[in-house]
Each structure stands twice: as C-alpha cells, then as structure tokens.
Amino acid sequence: MSVKLVSWNVNGIRAVSKKEEFWDWFDSTDADIINFQEVRATQDKIPKKLVEAEEFHKSFNEAEKKGYSGVATYSKVEPVEVIKGLGVEELDSEGRVLRIEYPDFILFNIYFPNSGMEAKRLDFKVDFCNALLEQLVELKSQGKNIVITGDYNIAHNPIDVYNPKNCEGKSGYLPEERAWLDELEKAGFVDTFRMFDEGENNFTWWSYRTRARERNAGWRLDYFYVNEEIASKVKSAEILSDVYGSDHCPVTLELDF
C-alpha cells in the first residue's frame, strides 16, 4: 500500500479558502491524507466546498477559544480510531492534536505551541512537547509505526533558518526548543525531509513582513517525522515552496508499506 500525506499550516482556513491559489492546490493534489494546522474555525464555519468533499473522512480538533489554533485532517483512507488531544487536560484546550490510527500507522497531526514573545509560553511548550514525546516513546515500544506531522514552531538547526545568528534568542529557535528535537531524534524518530535533502535554503515559513518570501528569507518549521523502523518505507519527502496562500507552504511524505 502506497500512501501520500501532505501537511499545511493554512493560517486560517476561512482566509485561505478565499484565495484562488488554495483551490488550485486542493483540486489538483493527489494526497491521500491532508493535514491542516491553525484552522482557526469551528466545524460549522468550515468553507462549504471542504464540508462537501465527500471523498474524504474528516476529523477536527477545535480550540475552546474561538478563532484560535485548531487542526483538521481530510483522509481518503478510513481511520480505525481518532483521538483528540494528548489526554492531558491542561494541554488540550487549544485543539492542537489529532491522533489518528490507520491500519499501517498512527498519525499525529499537530499544531505545536509558539513559545511567544520573550518566551512567555516556553514552559507550556516544553510541557506539551515532553508529554507528546512520552506518548510517542510508549507507542514505539509497543511496536507501533508512527508519523508525526505539522507546524512544530521549531527550526532545528542553523541550516533551517535564513540567518542563524540573527535568530538566536528568538521564539522557535530557542535552545530548549531545538534540544527537544534532538531528544525526539535520540528516541528513534527521523526527519524525513533530511533523508533526501541536506541542502540549505529549504524553508516552509516566511514572515509576511519585509517581503521575506520573495527573498526566501525563511525558516523550516513544518516536518514529517517517522519512527526509524519505517524509515526504509519512506519514498519521498518534499517542501512545496511553490504553493502559496499562507505564510507557510505545504510539506509532503510518501510511504510504501
């Protein structure tokens, strides 16, 4: 079985759905599973065309706060089970996690917290990341295959930002955040994009300020990680930097079981 997944922080599903670029992409994508982050809408506010896309099984996790956060997964593959959140009450009110079990793997669609200005939410983010890692390690020990995608809100290494020196001390590039991705990899999870491309200037987010996208002055914040046991089943992992509509672009993963 071959399955193609895509992940995209759309920066508001209602806003992006007003853009022709979004529908050009949506109507032409060959993805079997589409993951959206930062949906920022309740299900009753989702654009009609997305609601009526009958070829997809639809899963949502909404934030308690309206117009904030939220994730959604559109899947042509029928899920075995859908779980919302990490199961930790103090971490789950913002609608950041969908855990979806399929016959061959468990998918996590995640909108990771932003540590905020002056790292005001860093403690919350670290708690969130550690609770997730604990769950991932437990599932891996049970022999489960795992795919973790979404907007991690972390640029891992200097190669993942346009100007590393200038990024030091900034949210998304803090030592604590980057160290957590080190821990994820030590626990046996693989950054699939770097399996194929170790080059510079591969970014997935560009600030709307200063025409950053035109200059490719970006950060790589969006990832597909898999457990090392299925790394051999990864056939491709790409950044679709030519797809517009959000301040992020989509990323893809193709697996062949």
Instruction: Say what the pLDDT of residue 130 is.
Output: 98
The number of folded domains in the chain is: 1
CA gap 21, 252 in Å, rounded: 17
Catalytic residue positions, numbered: 151
Distances from the Cα of 94 to the Cαs of 14, 42, 89, 215, 232, in angstroms? 18, 12, 10, 33, 34
Task: Give mean pLDDT, residues 7-34.
Answer: 97
How much is the mean pLDDT over the chain? 97
Full residue range of the structural domain in which residue 42 is found:
2-256
Task: Evaluate if residue 210 carries a pLDDT over 90.
Answer: no
Instruction: Say what the pLDDT of residue 126 is.
Output: 98
Confidence of residue 165 (pLDDT cuts 50, 70, 90): very high
What's the predicted TM-score (pTM) here?
0.98
Higher pLDDT, 1 or 120: 120
Segment 81-131, tens digit of pLDDT: 999 999 999 999 999 999 999 999 999 999 999 999 999 999 999 999 999
Cβ–Cβ under 8 Å, residues 226 and 189:
yes
Segment 213-253, tens digit of pLDDT: 999 999 999 999 999 999 999 999 999 999 999 999 999 99
Domain of residue 132, CATH code: 3.60.10.10
Task: Evaluate if residue 1 carries a pLDDT over 90.
Answer: no
Query: Backbone phi, then psi, for 116, in 5-degree steps?
Result: 80, 170
